[in-house]
């Protein structure tokens, strides 16, 4: 550090946290929230948002040997499962060449797709949907 410059410590009570307990106390964690299990497709919040998973995936095997998701979402299985087929982009390499099988970079579904919880918000959210941002202003808003 430069001469004359000192870093001041911040008192514990001034540190903003969601922990709601002193750092030296291990509080009892809250109960796990229920996973939304509706199988109803959710509306996306922005154009390139990966779809969320509208069902439980507890116990799904997703590793180098097995991708349980593809037992319903593969093109050949959607007729019997009625699940949406994965996007054709999942069968493309980095140079946009089509592959016969799922692209290795798209194999682990939960990198981008996640189940949703039936939980209250921990922090306020002022997210504004893209449609509202680009919508023409009404006379009342001018």
pTM for the whole thing? 0.70
Produce one character per residue of 53-87: b if its CB has 16 or more CB atoms within 10 Å, e if not: beeebeeeeeeeeebebbeebbeeeeeeeebeebe
Rounded CA separation 51/89 (Å)? 14
pLDDT in tens, the chain (142 residues): 566 667 778 777 777 777 778 889 998 888 888 999 999 999 888 888 999 999 999 999 999 999 999 999 999 999 999 999 999 999 999 999 999 999 999 999 999 999 999 888 888 888 888 788 888 877 666 5
| The two three-digit tokens of residue 4, written as one number | 């004359």
């Amino acid at each position: 550090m430069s001469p004359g410059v000192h870093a001041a410590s911040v008192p514990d009570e001034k540190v903003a946290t969601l922990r709601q307990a002193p750092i030296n106390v291990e509080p009892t964690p809250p109960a796990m929230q229920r996973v939304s299990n509706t199988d109803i497709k959710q509306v996306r919040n922005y154009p390139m948002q990966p779809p969320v998973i509208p069902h439980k995936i507890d116990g799904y095997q997703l590793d180098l040997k097995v991708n349980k998701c593809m037992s319903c979402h593969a093109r050949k299985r959607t007729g019997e499962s009625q699940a949406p087929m994965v996007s054709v982009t999942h069968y493309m390499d980095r140079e946009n060449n089509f592959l016969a099988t799922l692209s290795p970079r798209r194999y682990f579904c939960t990198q981008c797709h996640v189940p949703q919880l039936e939980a209250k918000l921990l922090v306020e959210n002022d997210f504004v949907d893209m449609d509202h941002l680009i919508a023409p202003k009404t006379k009342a808003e001018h």
